[in-house]
Amino acid sequence: MNTVDQAIKLVRNWRRHRAVIHPRTAQFMYHWMRGSTELPYPPLKLHLEPTSVCNLRCPMCPQAIDAVKGDTGYIDIDLYRKIVDEAARFTLEINMFFRGEPLLHRRLSELLRYGSQKRVRMHVNTNATMLREREARMLVEDGATKVTISFDGPDKAMYEKMRKGAKYEVTLENVRNFLTLVKEYRENGRPTPYTVMQVILPYDATQSGPTLPSHMRDLLAGLPVDEWDPIWPHGWAGVMQENETVDAQPYGENYHPCNWLWKSLAIYWDGRVASCCADFSADQVIGDLREQSLMEIWNGPQMVALRKLQVEGRYQEAPLCSGCDAVWTKESSSWNLFNWAEKWIRPSDMPTGRLQGHSHGAPVVSPIASDLGPQAVAAVAAARNGFSGPVPVAIPASSGPSSNGRAMPA
């Protein structure tokens, strides 16, 4: 990728993330590059799942291999209010999704209204299969500030393969009706959510990045799509690196700590908190909002330990991070910036995570996930990267084991 491409990509990413552009964003970047493990600022954004239940089984998503297992439920409204009351003091945006389909929560309207009354930006990501008139009005009227619609594949055949359980014509009709409503509201000068069409395309090694097929724009010609977002699939921390339909993009060859640990937390429907929104099987549960506050968890012993492992390049010692593609990046604007700034910002007496002598670079080829289950696949991915697999270490007595009984770092 040349410098112009990189600059374009950087600008595009800033546009997408502008809800969280704030003086605190600079603080986040500084502490990520510096390798701070306790942070003097709160999380910039949250993923909060109204439900872990989904009506589809998309083959590139961990739902397809039953990674959620029996851990299904819907957030209780009082617990939700408690979380939002605290988050509203500092969080810039709540992503109202994580493992499931948000439109399945029967009280989503109440959840959105509560968040927006507290002046939090509410982002809903939906597969749009159930986006009928009532749901469309709810998204437009009840305070969603951004709606991302997952509409994958360049055509009907690929869409129905990738969105297993959905019907192309039904979803397309839902999307058109939703955008028509947005258009009406805009013509009347009324506020509407920012609209994003996210399109997952099969990975193509011959291209430098995913390109939106031009006919897809024609499908929604004249309707207010604020942003088209073509992406290649990622491997959900190694768990879905290979699947029956679309391979994830290969791991990059450059290591940097995963910046999610410096900017965000992910909350399950029952109040448990994960370090990252790739954690469908609750491998790295770091707290519980039924008993703790967000800020206690954000700088709690487990989150601090995870950041330290990443800064020191020992990410393979954490159960979920061990297979993760987010720490391995291709030559990119984000890696170049990190690499340059780290030299200036990181104190000279601090260890760095440079994995010297480590010959990462070959794409990780994990077995078809459904044959093995998510934990086994993460371990295989780690082993193929030259690691001996997750190394369990003791956990602080007060923190308890992660919900599935796997050891977390101390």
Are 179 and 195 in contact by the 8 Å Cβ rule? The answer is: yes
Q: Which does 57 bind (CB under 5 to 8 A by kind): ligand SAM, ligand SF4, none?
A: ligand SF4
Q: Which does 198 bind (CB under 5 to 8 A by kind): ligand SF4, ligand SAM, none?
A: ligand SAM
Minimum CB–partner distance for residue 276 and ligand SAM (Å): 13
Which position has the token pair 């709160």?
42
Contacting residues for 138 by C-beta, under 8 A, at least 6 apart: 108, 109, 112
Binding of residue 200 to ligand SAM (CB under 6 A): yes
Shorter beta-carbon distance to ligand SF4: residue 111 or 318: 111
Binding of residue 61 to ligand SF4 (CB under 6 A): yes
The one among 49, 101, 283, 325 contacting ligand SF4 by CB under 6 A:
101
Q: Which does 316 bind (CB under 5 to 8 A by kind): ligand SAM, ligand SF4, none?
A: none
Minimum CB–partner distance for residue 248 and ligand SAM (Å): 6
**Phi then psi dihedrals of residue 292, to 5 deg:** -125, 165
Residue 18 neighbours by CB distance under 10 Å: 12
Site for ligand SAM in 129-188 (CB under 6 A): 150
Binding of residue 54 to ligand SAM (CB under 6 A): yes
**Phi then psi dihedrals of residue 219, to 5 deg:** -60, -30
Minimum CB–partner distance for residue 226 and ligand SF4 (Å): 21
Binding of residue 275 to ligand SF4 (CB under 6 A): no
Q: How far apart (Å, rounded) are the C-alpha atoms in residues 332 and 160?
A: 32
Are 53 and 304 in contact by the 8 Å Cβ rule? The answer is: no
Q: How far apart (Å, rounded) are the C-alpha atoms in residues 10 and 4?
A: 10
Are 268 and 274 in contact by the 8 Å Cβ rule? The answer is: yes
Which position has the token pair 């991070």?
321
Q: Which two tokens stand for residue 156?
A: 């009907």
Site for ligand SAM in 103-132 (CB under 6 A): 125-127
Minimum CB–partner distance for residue 23 and ligand SAM (Å): 28
Minimum CB–partner distance for residue 75 and ligand SF4 (Å): 16
- Give SS3 for 10: helix
Binding of residue 65 to ligand SF4 (CB under 6 A): no
Cα separations in angstroms, 334 against 218, 254, 256: 32, 11, 10
Applying CB under 6 A, the residues found at the interface with ligand SAM are: 54, 58, 60-61, 97, 101, 125-127, 150, 198, 200, 231, 233-234, 236, 240, 248
Q: Which residues bind ligand SF4 (CB under 6 A)?
A: 54, 56-58, 61, 63, 100-101, 127
